[in-house]
Structure 1
Amino acid sequence: MKTHRPHLLKHTFNVMNRVRQTASVAGLSALRVAKGEKPDATMLKDTFEQLGTTYIKIGQFVASTPSLFPREYVEAFQGCLDQTTPLSYDYIEQVLTDELAVNGRILADSFAYIDKKPLASASIAQVHAARLHNGDEVVLKVQKPDVETIMQTDLGVLHAATKLLELAMPSMKFASIAPIIDEIRLRMLAETDFIAEAHNIRDFQQFLSVSGNTRVVAPTVYDELTTKRVLTMSRLHGVSMIDETAMRQYCDDPAQVMADTLNTWFASLMLCNSFHADLHAGNLMLLTDGRIGFLDFGIVGKLKAESWRACMGMMQSLQDNNYQAMAQHMVDMEMTHGRDIDVAALAQDLQRMMQSIMAEDKVFTSGIPFNTKEQADELNKMMLEIVGVGKRHGIHFPRDFALLTKQLLYFDRFMRTLAPDMDMFSDQRVQILGQDSLASDVAMISK
């Protein structure tokens, strides 16, 4: 037991230090309120950014989950960026050594070269390029120090502070904070487990293999060099799929690349254990060999087959401007919690909402490149409006449906850049799995 004492003492010190840091920042925010500043969504966002890792992630959760949080908070947290100052390579090397240099091995036994300059640095992990002795180029996703301890401590403090938040900011209306915090804890801690992310990648690769898909690829995981805190993957080289000029170096038809991406993602909804829920511009790449790279499987979602069919029906109805059918599909998605819904009234509200968005959405006609702040704002506005209409009629959107819907909206913006003449739901190049093929396909992949 004595051998565990230094580790226990270090853990206890880290917890106490984190509590002290949190109390200090919270105290400064309380002082601002005492001086007369309004404790609104903007102040909370500023406080979260000062608190770092966990709270930035919670801010992103707020921003992407309008079904759980008031509109003003969802909008405020859109500016909660997840970029951090890079850690020194000395620290990264120590983590790599602790995780991979075991049983008498040293890092030089596994890696011929590790680039000390990071490719990227975010709140949870830092990414470095490396090369194995056999010549394989890889990337090392290295978890930052004490991330799990910080998150566990922060979420514990957040539980304790809930009632204070309710008193200070009643507009947040935390009617059932425990389930919300539990979901945040589950999602966030899953992102700190790179073994789980590696499993998500393997699930996706199995789906690609079973479905015979050779157009799309995900990084290969090196299991012997992967732990809960280090994820070693093959490095993919390519260009962003929002740069049509760069894409034409490696493909003749960017629109067909978009169709192949959509076909793969739609098929994964039915045939994979989970779907990639964060395919923004940074996580999609056209490789130099012409294939399409799906990156970063830290955020995935799951949706029941019947809910997906209703979702597709809703989207098709929206495309056809059939708001009565759109409303009925929303009810069929089992999001009403047993309440009787006035479908006709819901249809009228949906029609008014969508017509208003179409009239105001400058992105549809401005030709602004994808991924600008204005377009991100438009994406979120549309999501908020759909959720807002649903709430008024007693419809509660599950989190994974929000993930799925936002991903569809991301694809819509990709298409406006790469394939402005393509219709996601009626173009012959885009194949959406139907009900008839569902049973046999699911049976095949489950064997």
Structure 2
Amino acid sequence: MSRPGAPVSRPGIARRSADISTTFARHLARVRDPLPRRLRTAFTELGPTFVKVGQVIASSPGLFPRDWIDEFSSLRDQVPPFPTALARRTVEEDLGRPLSSIFSSFDTEPLAAASIAQVHGATLLDGRAVVVKVQRPRLAEQVRDELRALLIVCELLERIPQTSVGSPRALAEDFARTLHEEMDFRLEAENMDRMRRLLDTSGIGDCRVPEVHHDLVGRRVLTMERIDGLHFTDVEAMRAEGIDTERLLRLGVQTVVEGVLVHGFFHGDLHAGNLCVLPDGTFVLFDFGIVGRLTESTRTRLATYLMAVTTNDYAAMVRALRSFGSVPRDVDVDELAATIAELYEPFVQGGVVIAQLGELMDTLIRAMVRHRVRMPRELVLLTKQMLYLEGAAATLAPDADLLQEQTLIYSTLMTKYPDLASQIQGAMQRGREMDDAIAAAAAAGRGARSRR
């Protein structure tokens, strides 16, 4: 499989870049249609890589306007399936044995089809119900040149202030890496096992991950237990079962926050298609092709940033961004903190934030654009998950305050994991000491110039 940075033929890139340009030009010319629809139809025609980008847009409320979310949401579950005969052949090739020696039945119609794979229901020879995730044929070859063309587009976006704040080149490189990881289902199986261990270690018993049948996993095939539940957005059905939907929201936030702060590992693609709820209220997570993995130092920096946001500590927010290398050296951090404070002021009453997370992110992005600050890629992935949960809150628990829920969870975790609290306090103290050192150096420089 081609990897990011591997040599790729220039004629292939040139051809695919020309195809992409022509397709975009043709769809954008339909000026009577709204822009999101024109882009969505272009993405659909361009194939798996661009469909995947569209799915990222659809699952990022707060980072994109509502009409974009609504338009691109069709790319989650309206991707045409490929022939079942090809799926059966892929399973046999990857597992190295006839289908009849593995399954007593293999459904002809897929349960779902997406940009990377489709899922078939099946029954093992011992009678256990499973689902089999099968990769689209020739996916690696198709994706290769599209990713290189996408990187070229992102190089152009780096030159536009309004888009450079999101670090498009870094995000495209990260997208290429994660897409290649998504195309190796053996890695997804490992991610599922790791999340199951994390939930067990954290004592989160109300959240499940399907068991993997490791003897039936290959690079292009993933077999797991079948779990059927209520759709995550079907609030009426959940309430009919007596399920506390506000507790579900809190559980989702806890799973992400504890994964980030304590374990440095979290689900990176939350949306309704990757979640279901059992009648007893258990929360089930699917699709671990995209996950967030954090080193200890990155985890501490993210934790420091999150704590600063929930306590309205603008100087600490800037220090945390600076620790990622996101703040240019010539930016006055005090001025940046003052800008954020000024923009946040309408959302704070009596020291309490009354805004939604999406509103705060929009405000922060405006401050970052003004000061040429780039959002760290780790923060983008985390923010996307929290913004999805905030969107879900409108349905599951309209009266819930997601920021307040996060604050309560942080407080609980600081008590549960005292070493983590010490790490965060140490990081914040080092940030203050760095501010003092920078200020002292600046004062010394001014003094030297005045003596001259």
Q: Same fold, TM exceeding 0.5?
A: yes
Of 225, 228, 231, which residue of structure 2 is paired with 1:240?
231
Residue 396 of structure 1: aligned partner:
374
- Match of 2:118, SS? strand
**Whole-Å separation in 1 of the counterparts to 2:208 and 2:29:** 55
Residue 427 of structure 2: aligned partner:
none
Structure 1 residue 238, shift from structure 2 partner: 1.1
**Structure 1 residue runs without a partner (length 5+):** 1-14, 356-360, 365-377
Structure 1 residue 278 corresponds to structure 2 residue 256: no
CA root-mean-square deviation = 4.4
CA contact (8 A) 2:196 2:209 kept: yes
**Whole-Å separation in 2 of the counterparts to 1:74 and 1:253:** 27
Structure 1 residue 125, shift from structure 2 partner: 0.6
**Whole-Å separation in 1 of the counterparts to 2:398 and 2:60:** 29
- Equivalent residue runs for 1:150-189 within 5 Å: 150-158=142-150, 179=170, 181-189=172-180
**Whole-Å separation in 2 of the counterparts to 1:260 and 1:234:** 22
Evaluate the alpha carbon distance shift between residue 133 and residue 41 of structure 1 in structure 2; reply closer, same or farther with a 3 A threshold.
Answer: closer
CA contact (8 A) 2:57 2:68 kept: no
Structure 1 residue 122 corresponds to structure 2 residue 114: yes
**Whole-Å separation in 1 of the counterparts to 2:282 and 2:417:** 26
Q: Which amino acid aligns with 2:84?
A: Y
Residue 316 of structure 2: aligned partner:
328
Q: Which amino acid aligns with 2:47?
A: G
**Whole-Å separation in 2 of the counterparts to 1:258 and 1:209:** 19
Q: Which amino acid aligns with 1:439?
A: D
- Equivalent residue runs for 1:141-220 within 5 Å: 141-158=133-150, 179=170, 181-220=172-211
Residue 97 of structure 1: aligned partner:
92
Q: Which amino acid aligns with 2:176?
A: R
Structure 1 residue 337, shift from structure 2 partner: 4.3
Evaluate the alpha carbon distance shift between residue 119 and residue 62 of structure 1 in structure 2; reply closer, same or farther with a 3 A threshold.
Answer: closer
Q: Which amino acid aligns with 1:197?
A: E
Greater alpha carbon shift after TM alignment, 260-269 vs 145-154: 260-269
Structure 1 residue 132 corresponds to structure 2 residue 124: yes
Identical residues among aligned pairs (%): 30
**Whole-Å separation in 2 of the counterparts to 1:212 and 1:193:** 30
Residue 8 of structure 1: aligned partner:
none
Structure 1 residue 352, shift from structure 2 partner: 4.9
Evaluate the alpha carbon distance shift between residue 60 and residue 392 of structure 1 in structure 2; reply closer, same or farther with a 3 A threshold.
Answer: farther
**Whole-Å separation in 1 of the counterparts to 2:232 and 2:89:** 35
Q: Which amino acid aligns with 2:305?
A: C
Evaluate the alpha carbon distance shift between residue 346 and residue 264 of structure 1 in structure 2; reply closer, same or farther with a 3 A threshold.
Answer: closer
- Match of 2:409, SS? coil
- Match of 1:131, SS? strand
- Equivalent residue runs for 1:252-267 within 5 Å: 252-267=243-258
**Whole-Å separation in 1 of the counterparts to 2:64 and 2:200:** 44
| Cα-to-partner distance string for 1:178-212 (whole Å, 9 max, x where unaligned) | 65543332122122111111111111111122223
TM-score by length of 2: 0.72
**Whole-Å separation in 2 of the counterparts to 1:179 and 1:256:** 36
Greater alpha carbon shift after TM alignment, 290-299 vs 223-232: 290-299
Residue 434 of structure 1: aligned partner:
414
| Cα-to-partner distance string for 1:76-113 (whole Å, 9 max, x where unaligned) | 6874424311112111111111112x2xx311111111
**Whole-Å separation in 2 of the counterparts to 1:217 and 1:16:** 47
**Whole-Å separation in 1 of the counterparts to 2:378 and 2:280:** 33
**Whole-Å separation in 2 of the counterparts to 1:425 and 1:77:** 22
Evaluate the alpha carbon distance shift between residue 246 and residue 92 of structure 1 in structure 2; reply closer, same or farther with a 3 A threshold.
Answer: same
Evaluate the alpha carbon distance shift between residue 136 and residue 354 of structure 1 in structure 2; reply closer, same or farther with a 3 A threshold.
Answer: farther
CA contact (8 A) 1:270 1:442 kept: no
**Whole-Å separation in 2 of the counterparts to 1:161 and 1:255:** 41
- Match of 1:350, SS? helix
Structure 1 residue 217, shift from structure 2 partner: 0.6
TM-score by length of 1: 0.73
Greater alpha carbon shift after TM alignment, 41-50 vs 409-418: 41-50
- Equivalent residue runs for 1:20-31 within 5 Å: 23-24=18-19, 26-27=21-22
Q: Which amino acid aligns with 2:121?
A: A
- Match of 1:248, SS? helix
Evaluate the alpha carbon distance shift between residue 119 and residue 327 of structure 1 in structure 2; reply closer, same or farther with a 3 A threshold.
Answer: farther
Evaluate the alpha carbon distance shift between residue 285 and residue 394 of structure 1 in structure 2; reply closer, same or farther with a 3 A threshold.
Answer: same
Structure 1 residue 218, shift from structure 2 partner: 0.4
Q: Which amino acid aligns with 2:341?
A: A
Evaluate the alpha carbon distance shift between residue 155 and residue 421 of structure 1 in structure 2; reply closer, same or farther with a 3 A threshold.
Answer: closer
Residue 343 of structure 2: aligned partner:
349
**Whole-Å separation in 2 of the counterparts to 1:29 and 1:428:** 41
CA contact (8 A) 1:62 1:74 kept: no
- Match of 1:153, SS? helix
- Match of 2:109, SS? coil
**Whole-Å separation in 1 of the counterparts to 2:399 and 2:151:** 49
Q: Which amino acid aligns with 1:349?
A: L
Residue 400 of structure 2: aligned partner:
422
CA contact (8 A) 1:341 1:394 kept: no
**Whole-Å separation in 1 of the counterparts to 2:271 and 2:61:** 19
**Whole-Å separation in 1 of the counterparts to 2:280 and 2:130:** 17
**Structure 2 residue runs without a partner (length 5+):** 1-9, 350-354, 424-452
| Cα-to-partner distance string for 1:149-200 (whole Å, 9 max, x where unaligned) | 111122245567888x78xx99977999865543332122122111111111
CA contact (8 A) 1:346 1:393 kept: no
Of 278, 298, 307, which residue of structure 2 is paired with 1:287?
278
**Whole-Å separation in 2 of the counterparts to 1:186 and 1:309:** 24
Structure 1 residue 316 corresponds to structure 2 residue 310: yes
Evaluate the alpha carbon distance shift between residue 310 and residue 33 of structure 1 in structure 2; reply closer, same or farther with a 3 A threshold.
Answer: closer
Residue 448 of structure 2: aligned partner:
none
Structure 1 residue 314, shift from structure 2 partner: 3.7
**Whole-Å separation in 2 of the counterparts to 1:349 and 1:35:** 37
**Whole-Å separation in 2 of the counterparts to 1:213 and 1:155:** 38
